[in-house]
């Protein structure tokens, strides 16, 4: 085991995959210079510049023009004809330029050609939300892609997950989109430096509890864990579950965690409407309604473009306080430091407009 | 060329009497540019098509039966009935698939060229697209990337002069072939796209360049479709001048090539007649193959969505999580 950062773990997984299979190539803007820190050295942190380029050469480390549509489309075509590309699309907002290729080619080619093609390609992108990068660089677009059959969607929340899930993604014969939250980049933990893989569709229980369950996604996961720790001090026992992959989704794991406590809060940094939280909430309501003791609550980013000013942006995303408040409301406890008002329709409306918890 | 002509004529009839669901877009009149281009490619070379693409896999040597069965949606169709007319593909002959999205398959051919380059397997990738797709941005992203990486890609514009009803000259600034120069590659325009040998020569030079590591080429072929954009489409608008159409129909590539073969002494008229009879029989057999093939069982609807069928989304839409008891 060795301490790795989230970014370092991604770099380590990429290096493992490049060494293991010469069909693996890395394609993206500025990958030669290691601008985003995942095509460098040792895996412990952002390492020496250009390391991958020296080791693997320009045939396999390919700096692209700023041409997202053909980057994505060419990676698909290359995957259909023998390569296993990893595409670094840097900011996830840039996926929109290539929507046609994601939706009409990556997702559909295998199906509409009757299984003649497989499309073993990994698309990585970082969600820069929470870093004052403004509306064009702060998206969390994974729910859009959950709505496209044929894609696999991965949202690692810890370095160890980032490494193991990326290896599984490279092995996958289907197109995989990995959404990496920049708020997690600096997080560090002990990670196995040997090769390992984490299967898709298998979530992770981070805390066990009996009073309420938080199902958390991506950057909301560490916040949910912090909320659970704070609630434990108040005597509220909280289960925290991270599905880790959204397609395939660990439905059984989610439903078990939900049914266990009967009170469910879903924390998801994506937009509220038709988001990952909406899907998870619907599944819970659909399948384990009888076990529920309270309505399922969502803590999400409200349906709003991301403003630049830190004063405006900071309040929008799920955080440990908003998640904890939602759990308190669910179990009928008073909000910490509040004046005692438990979930009311008015509070709901306020939550929608401010992103604060109910 | 005859295979494509008779196949498409039969498909046109079948659509009109409801034997093919949906719609088809025939290449009738454009066979010379399809075949001239495909003949310049080797068996293991790749190509991608567009919505007017029955001819492309045929030109590359695909058997007609599974293609015809695909148009009808039968289980023995080349895509098992999942694709249909707009999404034919036959990977066995290097046909990586059509795209119903105008220009959508161009980046796929760029990627096939990329894999060829990285794996150093000597294959060439050719993207067929129309004059309409020539105005899609992905073409230029693809030409630029192929140019800087010297990929073995051929961008082949089938300029049949109309994007549905819109004349190319009303939406296209300048000459399409001239756009190659902007990306540092040859841009060749074949004015008589009804001459299969002229097309062959232009594409063969592009293939030679690609194999020699000299990078991509743009080839524009001027041609004409004899039928409507889509079989059965009745716009009630005469957007094509009838004199213009008659002039192009008089330059039927199949008639021209038959005359050329006889003139050169390659074949006699009797031999050509026999060849035509053989092709008609082949089309009849393709229809018989189609008739004998069952429609797919509804249970296979989710097959091939993912390589690992347990990941298909229906696993949680269907049954297994129906009750709390199942969960616990």
Min Cα distance B198 → chain A (Å) is 29
**B109 contacts on A by Cβ (under 8 Å):** 77
**pLDDT, tens digit (0-9, with 9 covering 90-100), for A220-275:** 999 999 999 999 999 999 999 999 999 999 999 999 999 999 999 999 999 999 99
* Amino acid B234: pLDDT: 80
Banded model confidence at residue B315, pLDDT cuts 50, 70, 90? low
* Contact call for A77 and B327, based on CB within 8 A: no
Q: B251 and chain A: CB distance < 8 Å anywhere?
A: no
Min Cα distance B324 → chain A (Å) is 5
* Amino acid A334: pLDDT: 74
Measured CA to CA, the distance from residue A159 to residue A139 in angstroms comes to 21
With CA atoms as reference, report the closest residue to A65 among A92, A97, A39, A100: A97
On average, the pLDDT of chain A sits at 92
Is the model more confident about B321 or about B17?
A: B17
Indicate if the pLDDT at residue A357 is higher than 80.
no
| Residue appearing with tokens 């370092």 | A8
Query: What's the pTM?
Result: 0.94
- A287 annotated active-site: no
Nearest-by-CA chain B residue for A150? B305
Q: B239 and chain A: CB distance < 8 Å anywhere?
A: no
Measured CA to CA, the distance from residue A320 to residue A228 in angstroms comes to 8
Measured CA to CA, the distance from residue B289 to residue B292 in angstroms comes to 5
From A25-34, A86-95, B192-201, B301-310, the region with the lowest mean pLDDT? B301-310
* Amino acid B237: pLDDT: 78
Longest CA–CA span in chain B (Å) reads: 81
Q: What is the mean pLDDT of residues A277-285?
A: 97
* Amino acid B232: pLDDT: 80
Indicate if the pLDDT at residue A46 is higher than 70.
no
* Amino acid A44: pLDDT: 44
Is the model more confident about A351 or about B164?
A: B164
Bridge partners (DSSP) of residue B189 are B220
Residue A31 neighbours by CB under 8 Å, 6+ apart: A39, A52, A61, A62, A63, A88
Q: What is the mean pLDDT of residues B23-50?
A: 97
Measured CA to CA, the distance from residue B12 to residue B27 in angstroms comes to 11
Is residue B29 left, alpha or beta, with left meaning phi > 0 and alpha meaning psi from -120 to 50?
left
**A251 contacts on B by Cβ (under 8 Å):** 315-316, 321
**pLDDT, tens digit (0-9, with 9 covering 90-100), for B42-85:** 999 999 999 999 999 999 999 999 999 999 999 999 999 999 99
* Amino acid A333: pLDDT: 79
Percent of chain A with pLDDT over 90: 86
* Amino acid B328: pLDDT: 42
Min Cα distance A200 → chain B (Å) is 9
Nearest to A81 among B81, B112, B321 (CB): B112
**pLDDT, tens digit (0-9, with 9 covering 90-100), for B286-312:** 999 999 999 999 999 999 999 987 666
* Amino acid A345: pLDDT: 38
**Cα A40 to the chain's mean position, in Å?**
22
Banded model confidence at residue A36, pLDDT cuts 50, 70, 90? confident
Indicate if the pLDDT at residue A348 is higher than 70.
no
Measured CA to CA, the distance from residue A318 to residue A276 in angstroms comes to 13
**pLDDT, tens digit (0-9, with 9 covering 90-100), for A207-223:** 999 999 999 999 999 99
**A117 contacts on B by Cβ (under 8 Å):** 89, 91, 96-97
Min Cα distance B217 → chain A (Å) is 17
**pLDDT, tens digit (0-9, with 9 covering 90-100), for B88-116:** 999 999 999 999 999 999 999 999 999 99
Indicate if the pLDDT at residue A203 is higher than 70.
yes
Measured CA to CA, the distance from residue A212 to residue A215 in angstroms comes to 10
Q: What is the mean pLDDT of residues A318-338?
A: 89
Bridge partners (DSSP) of residue A154 are A178, A245
Predicted complex ipTM: 0.95
* Amino acid A37: pLDDT: 86
* Amino acid B311: pLDDT: 67
Nearest-by-CA chain A residue for B324? A288
Mutate to test the interface with A, among B87, B91, B118 (most CBs of A within 10 A): B118
Indicate if the pLDDT at residue B318 is higher than 50.
no
How many CB atoms sit inside 10 A of residue B309's CB? 12
**A111 contacts on B by Cβ (under 8 Å):** 82, 304-305
* Amino acid B309: pLDDT: 72
CB-based burial label for A342 (10 Å; 0-12, 13-18, 19+): middle
Banded model confidence at residue A159, pLDDT cuts 50, 70, 90? very high
Mutate to test the interface with A, among B80, B108, B320 (most CBs of A within 10 A): B108
* Contact call for A110 and B305, based on CB within 8 A: yes
């Amino acid at each position: 085991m060795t301490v790795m950062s989230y970014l370092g773990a991604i770099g380590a997984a990429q290096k493992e995959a490049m060494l293991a299979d010469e069909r693996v190539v890395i394609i993206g803007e500025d990958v030669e210079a290691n601008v985003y820190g995942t095509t460098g050295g040792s895996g412990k942190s952002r390492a020496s510049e250009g390391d991958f380029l020296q080791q693997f050469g320009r045939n396999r480390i390919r700096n692209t023009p700023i041409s997202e549509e053909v980057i994505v489309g060419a990676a698909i075509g290359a995957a259909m004809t023998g390569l296993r590309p990893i595409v670094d699309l840097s900011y996830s907002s840039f996926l929109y330029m290539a929507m046609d290729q994601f939706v009409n080619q990556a997702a559909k080619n295998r199906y509409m050609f009757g299984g003649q093609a497989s499309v073993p390609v990994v698309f990585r992108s970082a969600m820069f939300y929470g870093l004052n990068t403004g509306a064009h660089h702060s998206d969390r677009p994974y729910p859009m892609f959950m709505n496209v059959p044929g894609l696999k969607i991965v949202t690692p929340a810890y370095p160890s997950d980032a490494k193991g899930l990326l290896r599984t993604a490279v092995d996958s014969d289907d197109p995989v989109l990995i959404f990496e939250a920049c708020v997690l980049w600096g997080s560090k933990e002990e990670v196995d430096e040997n090769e390992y893989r984490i299967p898709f569709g298998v979530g992770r229980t981070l805390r066990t509890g009996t009073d309420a369950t938080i199902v958390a996604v991506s950057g909301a996961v560490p916040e949910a864990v912090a909320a659970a720790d704070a609630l434990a001090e108040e005597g509220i026992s909280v289960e925290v579950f991270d599905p880790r992959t959204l397609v395939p989704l660990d439905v059984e794991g989610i439903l078990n965690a939900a049914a266990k406590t009967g009170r469910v809060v879903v924390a998801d940094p994506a937009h509220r409407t038709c988001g990952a939280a909406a899907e998870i909430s619907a599944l819970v309501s659909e399948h384990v309604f009888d076990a529920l003791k309270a309505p399922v609550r969502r803590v999400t980013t409200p349906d709003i473009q991301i403003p630049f000013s830190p004063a405006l942006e900071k309040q929008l995303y799920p955080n440990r306080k908003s998640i904890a408040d939602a759990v308190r409301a669910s179990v009928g406890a008073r909000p910490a430091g509040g004046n005692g008002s438990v979930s009311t329709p008015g509070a709901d409306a306020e939550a929608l407009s401010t992103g604060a918890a109910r | 060329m005859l295979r494509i002509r008779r196949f498409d004529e039969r498909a046109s009839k079948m659509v009109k009497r409801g034997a093919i669901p949906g719609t088809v877009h025939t290449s009738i009149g454009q066979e010379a540019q399809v075949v001239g281009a495909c003949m310049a490619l080797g068996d293991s070379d790749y190509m991608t098509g567009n919505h007017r693409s029955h001819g492309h896999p045929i030109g590359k040597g695909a058997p007609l039966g599974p293609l015809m069965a695909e148009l009808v949606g039968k289980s023995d169709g080349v895509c098992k009935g999942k694709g249909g007319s707009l999404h034919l593909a036959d990977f066995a002959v290097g046909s990586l698939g059509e795209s119903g999205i105008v220009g959508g398959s161009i980046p796929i051919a760029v990627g096939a060229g990329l894999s060829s380059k990285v794996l150093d397997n000597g294959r060439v990738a050719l993207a067929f697209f129309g004059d309409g797709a020539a105005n899609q941005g992905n073409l230029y992203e693809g030409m630029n990337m192929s140019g800087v990486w010297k990929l073995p890609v051929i961008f082949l514009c089938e300029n049949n002069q109309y994007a549905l009803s819109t004349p190319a000259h009303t939406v296209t600034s300048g000459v399409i072939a001239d756009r190659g120069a902007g990306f540092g590659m040859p841009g060749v325009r074949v004015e008589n796209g009804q001459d299969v040998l002229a097309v062959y020569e232009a594409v063969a030079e592009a293939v030679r360049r690609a194999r020699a590591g000299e990078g991509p080429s743009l080839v524009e072929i001027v041609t004409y479709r004899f039928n409507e954009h889509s079989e059965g489409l009745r716009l009630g608008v005469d957007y094509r001048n009838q004199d213009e159409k008659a002039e192009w129909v008089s330059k039927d590539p199949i008639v021209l090539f038959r005359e050329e073969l006889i003139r050169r002494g390659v074949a006699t008229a009797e031999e050509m007649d026999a060849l035509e009879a053989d092709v008609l029989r082949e089309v009849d057999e393709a229809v018989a193959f189609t008739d004998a093939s069952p429609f797919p069982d509804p249970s296979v609807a989710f097959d091939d969505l993912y390589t690992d069928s347990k990941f298909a989304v229906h696993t949680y839409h269907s049954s297994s999580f129906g009750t709390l008891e199942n969960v616990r």
